[in-house]
Homo-oligomer: A and B are copies of this chain.
Amino acid sequence: MADDLYPLTGRFLQGRLRHGMDQRELNILEGLIDRTELLQGESTILHRGDFCEYSTMLIEGMAIRSIADHEGKSHIVGFQVPGDFVDLHGFALKRLDHDLTVLGRARVGYVPHERLRAVMTQEPHLARIFWFSTLLDASIHREWIMKTTQLRAVGRMAHFFAELWYRLRMVALGDASGFQTPLTQTHLASICGISTIHVSRTLRDLREGGVLDFQRGRITILDSDKLKTIARFDPAYLYGEGGLAVGNALDKGTPETLVDG
């Protein structure tokens, strides 16, 4: 459980703008969730083209955004961790351009769009916070474009692991030694745009190079400086506010206030 007071939405923007919301807003946020659902295994909760009447918050577990190509094969274009309001953009876009799939065991919460419409008219500050959270995804997308056009296989994988580690620690998951994840090498291949075979080879190189180890659903970080260097990782694009919930090895940023009234 993320937070005793806010068991459903306690991780939303944790480590980022969460402090920018007052008690009243945090209560409104928690109250937006109509019902939750526990999912097991890989299940797609939203399909491209769906017209949604609710948006989904990821409470526990991880999820991927993917787009099917002309042959029906799907490709991962985004990754979400607990606290992410994963298809808030479905509210403003109305129709989704991609699929959303949870991995492993996950709990999601549903927010009726009707309630979001009320937020838009009655809670402009909260509306702006929501807007911010969707722009965070866009910023991550830009970094992924950068990473795939700029880095080779080792760098891409290192970058993804560095980002994931950082994001998880922002929401008080994982620790200084590593983190758990339901990802398989096939997922990693899709995320990094390389073949599964080359993922296997690259993971071996990272392990033998003393950078990190990936075994049975757990990433162990062996040398965070090496990881950061190989990945050319600079967490500024994640808009964190300096302090990580747990550990701090990759973080050199300074606290800032990002959104005002």
Contacts and interface: CB of A to CB of B under 8 A. Distances in A.
A21 interface: no
A132 B93 CA distance: 6
A94 B121 CA distance: 22
Interface in A42-67: 48-49, 65, 67
A65 B142 contact: yes
Interface of A: 48-49, 65, 67, 69-70, 75, 77-78, 89, 92-95, 97-98, 117, 120-121, 124, 127-128, 131-132, 134-139, 141-146, 148-150, 190-193, 232, 234, 236-237, 239, 256-261
A142 B259 CA distance: 25
Contacts of A145: 77-78, 141, 144-145, 148
Stoichiometry, as copies per complex, reads 2
Contact of A138 (B67, B89, B128, B146): B89
A92 B259 contact: yes
Interface of A is mostly: helix
A258 B127 contact: no
A124 B236 CA distance: 30
A232 B70 contact: yes
